[in-house]
Chains A and B, each alone.
Chain A
Amino acid sequence: DTAVSQTPKYLVTQMGNDKSIKCEQNLGHDTMYWYKQDSKKFLKIMFSYNNKELIINETVPNRFSPKSPDKAHLNLHINSLELGDSAVYFCASSQGDGRNQPQHFGDGTRLSIL
């Protein structure tokens, strides 16, 4: 009965590869998010998405693209992986547009680039 689940939990791959991380929420929430947490533990939003709007953090390289097959899923696809992409990626969801609702986080995907 996990609320927000993301897979895989660990991802080790080589530079230049393309990979995807999947996220699913069973809370009936309207908005989903992707965050990157680097080695300094700074949590930075990458995307927020609901059925009306995709908001992209302009600092995110266009190698990163969110894909939402339906309201309960927001996957993250990464092209041409670079060493600097090594981090923990968190998926989250919230009710409404999220402005005044708490976000529920998945357990994170630990991405390591060799």
Chain B
Amino acid sequence: GQNIDQPTEMTATEGAIVQINCTYQTSGFNGLFWYQQHAGEAPTFLSYNVLDGLEEKGRFSSFLSRSKGYSYLLLKELQMKDSASYLCAGYNFNKFYFGSGTKLNVKP
């Protein structure tokens, strides 16, 4: 999406840790969201960061650095069901943008 960049695809092994990065233009953005979307399904909300630092929610954590225009989603103890697309998103001035999504493949 406009102003938001993330890798297209990543592969990781079950039980491992994976970090999915997202960069965005800093001007106008007001916090960053992460969503998960399984193939053929609707996106579901994972996390929201408005302040710098790490937010932890069980196996998933999200980090934000506003000055650098950088965020990442950290997935620990990967499970096969974590195979999905992960989208970062946020408001830039008056419009809401999604990144193009990172497709995560978890292999046994």
> Do they bind each other?
yes
Chain A positions near chain B (C-beta within 8 angstroms): 33, 35, 40-45, 48, 55, 57, 90, 98-100, 102-108
Contact B48 A102 (CB under 8 A): yes
Q: How far is the CA of A108 from the CA of B44 in the complex (A)?
A: 12
Contact A45 B97 (CB under 8 A): yes
Q: Which residues of the partner chain A approach B42 to less than 8 Å between Cβ atoms?
A: 90, 105-108
Closest to A98 in B: B96
Contact B30 A43 (CB under 8 A): no
Chain A interface, DSSP helix/strand/loop, else mixed: loop
Q: How far is the CA of A41 from the CA of B41 in the complex (A)?
A: 11
A14 to chain B, nearest CB (A): 25
Contact A42 B100 (CB under 8 A): yes
Q: Which residues of the partner chain A approach B33 to less than 8 Å between Cβ atoms?
A: 102-103
Interface string of B56-73 (1 = CB under 8 A from A): 000000000000000000
Quick one: which of B37, B50, B85, B98 contacts A100, CB cutoff 8 A? B50
Q: Which residues of the partner chain B approach A100 to less than 8 Å between Cβ atoms?
A: 30-31, 48, 50
A110 to chain B, nearest CB (A): 9
Contact B96 A45 (CB under 8 A): yes
Question: Can you name 9 A-B residue pairings with CB atoms under 8 Å?
Answer: A35-B98, A41-B85, A42-B1, A57-B95, A90-B43, A100-B30, A100-B50, A102-B33, A108-B42
Contact A55 B94 (CB under 8 A): yes
Interface string of B24-43 (1 = CB under 8 A from A): 00000011010001000111
Q: Which residues of the partner chain B approach A44 to less than 8 Å between Cβ atoms?
A: 1, 98
